[in-house]
């Protein structure tokens, strides 16, 4: 995954925290799922890719341009401890939904018996 530069754009993102998981929804319409990269890195979620032109191959004259094309990158801080191994992603109708199971730090506490 590439890191952001002045030439990249950032898609809008919603982050929802429930008792069981963190849900991240990214608005990146007009892409193929194989053009999207998702990386979990500690307490961060990194999403990047490249969106091509939406229409009109060949010579063109634009009257208005509002749809971003080219490389995009978002880095999102995950606000709670998560289990990175339990991450799923689904891309449907232009919306990328990433679900990461919350990690319960209490479940890692273990009493050690003395032999």
pLDDT tens-place string over residues 62-107: 788 888 888 999 999 999 999 999 999 999 999 999 999 998 777 6
**pLDDT (average), residues 2-27:** 86
What is the domain count for the chain? Answer: 1
In a domain, 3, yes or no: no
Q: What is the pLDDT of residue 60?
A: 76
SS3 113: coil
The whole-number pLDDT of residue 96 equals 97
pLDDT digits (tens, 9 = 90+) for 41-54: 889 999 999 998 76
CATH number for the domain that contains residue 46: 2.60.40.790
**Is 91 among the domain residues?**
yes
| DSSP symbols for 30-75 | T--GGGEEEEEETTEEEEEEEE---S--SS---S---S--EEEEEE
Which one is predicted more confidently, 68 or 7? 68
Domain membership of residue 26 as a residue range: 13-53+64-106
- Mean pLDDT of the 18-39 span: 94
Considering only CA atoms, which of 85, 112, 114, 87 is closest in space to residue 98?
Answer: 87
What is this structure's pTM? 0.81
The whole-number pLDDT of residue 19 equals 94
- Whether residue 57 has pLDDT greater than 80: no
Q: Cβ(28)–Cβ(94) under 8 Å?
A: yes
In a domain, 5, yes or no: no
- d(CA 3, CA 52) in angstroms, rounded, equals 18
């Amino acid at each position: 995954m590439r890191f952001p530069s002045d030439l990249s754009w950032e898609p809008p993102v919603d982050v929802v925290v429930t008792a069981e998981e963190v849900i991240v929804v990214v608005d990146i319409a007009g892409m193929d799922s194989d053009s999207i990269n998702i990386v979990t890195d500690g307490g961060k979620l990194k999403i990047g890719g490249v969106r091509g032109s939406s229409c009109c191959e060949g010579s063109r004259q634009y009257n208005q341009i509002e749809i971003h094309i080219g490389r995009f990158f978002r880095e999102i801080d995950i606000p709670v401890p998560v289990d990175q191994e339990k991450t799923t992603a689904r891309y449907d109708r232009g919306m990328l939904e990433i679900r990461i199971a919350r990690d319960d730090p209490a479940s890692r506490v273990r009493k050690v018996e003395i032999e």
